[in-house]
Chains A and B, each alone.
Chain A
Amino acid sequence: MDKNMLAGLEGLPEEDKARMSSMIDHLQLRDSLRMYNSLVERCFNDCVDNFTRKALQKQEETCVMRCAEKFLKHSMRVGLRFAELNSQAATQD
């Protein structure tokens, strides 16, 4: 998620812009932390099933790395499409 997704700030007075901007920063921080947590949970659930050992096995490590990279790439792509649809919707209104 970045500020492009929330387009429409241009027309606002300066103090509102500043307030919205800091709100966006706050939301981005919260969102990053949430993403971190859900990514860990997802990749753990999808990749780790074996509890005969304490240490992660090599294939589990590989799986987790791929899972995380894949989700982040996916998330970026979704972000692009989301921004496109957002701006289409904005021009239609």
Chain B
Amino acid sequence: MAETEMEYRVELFNRLAQTCFNKCVDKRYKESELNMGENSCIDRCVSKYWQVNSMIGQMLSAGGRPPM
């Protein structure tokens, strides 16, 4: 069970990292550093993703199965 939990956490981290990179980082790669705007965006993105993750977790555990 703990193994499933760990795998879930790893998966969560990976999806979170991918998603926030897509949303926040300019793909033209003008430089290798993250600029201030990107840094703020990343922090906020992680925070929001986390909130969405909690919301859905709560919905699923309260309602049981999601409606098909």
Name A residues whose Cβ lies closer than 8 Å to a Cβ of B: 1, 5-6, 20, 23-24, 27, 31, 34-35, 38, 46-47, 63, 65-67, 69-71, 73-75, 77-79, 81-82, 85, 89
Name B residues whose Cβ lies closer than 8 Å to a Cβ of A: 2-3, 6-7, 9-10, 13-14, 16-18, 20-21, 24-25, 27, 29-34, 38-39, 42-43, 46-47, 50, 54
Given A66-B32, A73-B34, A85-B50, 18 more A-B residue pairs with CB atoms under 8 Å apart are A1-B13, A5-B9, A6-B6, A6-B9, A20-B2, A23-B2, A27-B7, A27-B10, A46-B27, A63-B29, A66-B31, A70-B25, A70-B31, A74-B21, A77-B42, A79-B13, A81-B42, A82-B13
